[in-house]
Structure 1
Amino acid sequence: MEASLKIKVQAELFDAGTEITALHAGNPAIGAVTSFTGYCRDEGGQLEALELEHFPGMAESQLTSIAQDATARWPLQGLTIIHRYGKLKPGEPIVLVATASAHRRASFQAADFLMDFLKTKAPFWKKEHPADPQKEASWVDAKASDDADADRWKMV
């Protein structure tokens, strides 16, 4: 049976619990669901908002490709990726990754893999808007630690 994929790029808030319930959807073959929700931090009170930009169509295509890589590596029954864009306030969710499989190990590993590749391969650009009105917004550079996290999957 082929895994069901749900890939969404949206400005609107999402409800992680609702999405996880829909992913499971009473499928008796599913023994494990792993989820990760990433939130906008306030960076110790220094951040007013995080703005995410993307190329419509290109972002969905890349997320789908990453999801297909995960389903080729692990026996998943389904997965959900929701990534937001726009100006997000601290405390708001940015991304949801949820994986469903018969066993926990595949579900955990696939979710970890997906997040590592979303951080490095998904075409989203982040701009930080500081809480201090005297400071200008600035683009966030890629992190070497994110690349190192993704590189570990090349050996698996």
Structure 2
Amino acid sequence: MVKYDERRLVMRMLARWTDIKGDRALPALSDIDPQAIGEDWRCCAVVAVGADQASSRFSYVGAELMPEGDPVTGLEVREIAANTLLGAAAANLDWVLDRRVPLSLGGEMVARQGLFLYRYILLPLSEDGVRLDHVLIVANGRAVAAGATAERQESRESAESAP
């Protein structure tokens, strides 16, 4: 059993995904054990893949990823606001569907609560080893303090105006 003591959530979950996958091309959703994942499961969402990204639906959304606490399980991916962590991550679903490999991104976005720093990873899953039928989204982040937001904006503006 691999010890998952990595500090960064997305790296812990990538290590789990890789361990569960073993020699197979992709692990299956049925291989994912929420109890083994523990508290990190609150930062996860599962997308049941449809014919395309727009028709794919959330079959599970952890409490930490629910936009404003709204229930989103069962909603189509296109119904999630882009200015939420879940929406930002899900916007890259087609990339994972096309390439069949994990995608990890981090950065900043303007969310409902202001500037937000985030990291997420999309992990492809397949029950039969051929058809990609689910994607596990793992994401977390934090709002940037108001003072820090103003400083970051001033820094950007001065960098953009520099010759």
More relative contact order in 1 or in 2 (CA 8 Å, sep 6+)? Answer: 1
Whether TM-score is above 0.5 comes out as no
The TM-score, its normalising length taken from structure 2, stands at 0.27
Which has more helix, going by share of residues?
2
The TM-score, its normalising length taken from structure 1, stands at 0.27
Which has more strand, going by share of residues?
1
Q: Which has the larger radius of gyration?
A: 2
